[in-house]
Amino acid sequence: MKLPRTHVSLPRALGAAAAVLSLTLLTACGAPGSAGGGGSTDSSTGGADLAACEAVPGDELVVLDDDQQLQTVDNIIPAVNAAAVEGDDTLISLLDTVSAALDTNTLIGLNRSVDVDRRTSQEVAEEFVADAGLDSPEATGSGEIIVGAADFAESATLGTIYATVLNAAGYDAEVTTIGNREAYLPALESGDQVQVIPEYVGTLTEFLNHDVNGADADAVASSDLDATVEALTGLGEEVGLVFGTPSPAQDQNAFAVTQAFADEHGIATLSELAETCGGLVLGGPPECTERPFCQPGLEETYGLQFAEFRSLDAGGPLTKSALQQGEVTLGLVFSSDGSLTPTE
């Protein structure tokens, strides 16, 4: 699962910088900065050592598809205080129209507009709502709604989209920023300070799981979206939360190469990388060598063969720069990072 950002906990709870999306997830074997275990293998490589593929510098970065579903799902989902929508069938249905209009490529574009082009979340959100045809909803509602947002740009933009759609339907909605999940989730559960927040399915599921069932509770979030949403719904009932429909858009841990590298080797998935290249240099946060969804998972699930691990950051500028400059072959990023090239 993801590391923490300011909007996440175990999967998403480290701090997030304003201009750069922070991220997480990590893995195994070998001390950070040392050779990363040489690559345990599976059927994807047949146990054979592959020729090393040199990193190829390039400005454009592309995420390789996690085709064997190593990562936990982290789709965007509206989280709502249950008491705030008692007798109101409109609010969640309006938020669901936002979910339906978002996919990961769209989310990358929204983040690029804010993080790279330096436009405001308000401007980007209003433009998105208009372009998606969400500014004239048929359903109408009323009442004051406070939409919460974590203190990073993606959350602010999503929260502003929610509020813009609700206002178009007749609600009196405004957005307030309330730090990280540890700060904003109690406010959402009580419903006094905030009634709606854009959330992340897998991260929130595990946060509530540990809150309700204890820090040592077995994980219930997985790569299965339906099963994870079912678990989240049950946990939400315990703390007074209900949820809208998850969006196809995801902000999850992902692994990127340069577009030039992908083109040179004709690869689009992690399985194809494992079948084609050995001697890879992996870049990511120090914990990557110890976490099952980072280096160990890449080795065990895909049979990827690593010659070296370089300790950098969690989806931040160090990792992206190292990829672009050809210092690492594969790097841990966030799937919705605005600097990524959208996938087809």
Angle between helices 121-131 and 153-168 (to 10 degrees): 50
pLDDT digits (tens, 9 = 90+) for 74-132: 999 999 999 999 999 999 999 999 999 999 999 999 999 999 999 999 999 999 999 99
Residue 30's pLDDT is 30
Q: pTM for the complete prediction?
A: 0.85
Contact predicate 301/72, CB 8 Å:
no
What DSSP character marks residue 288?
A: G
C-alpha closest to that of 305 among 332, 269, 330, 333: 330
Residue 41's pLDDT is 37
- Tell me the C-alpha distance between 87 and 74, whole Å: 29
Angle at 84 between CA 136 and CA 198, to 5 degrees: 65
pLDDT digits (tens, 9 = 90+) for 122-151: 999 999 999 999 999 999 999 999 999 999
- Tell me the C-alpha distance between 8 and 4, whole Å: 5
Q: Starting at the edge strand that comes first in sequence, how are the strands of the sheet with 280-284 ordered?
A: 61-64, 253-258, 330-334, 280-284, 306-311
Residue 50's pLDDT is 87
What is the torsional sign of CA 127, 132, 136, 141? negative
Residue 64's pLDDT is 97
Domains of the chain (ranges plus CATH)?
1-71+252-344 (3.40.190.120), 76-243 (3.10.105.10)
User: What contacts 293, CB < 8 A, 6 or more positions away?
Assistant: 1, 25, 26, 27, 70, 71, 72, 253
Q: What average pLDDT score do residues 196-206 get?
A: 98
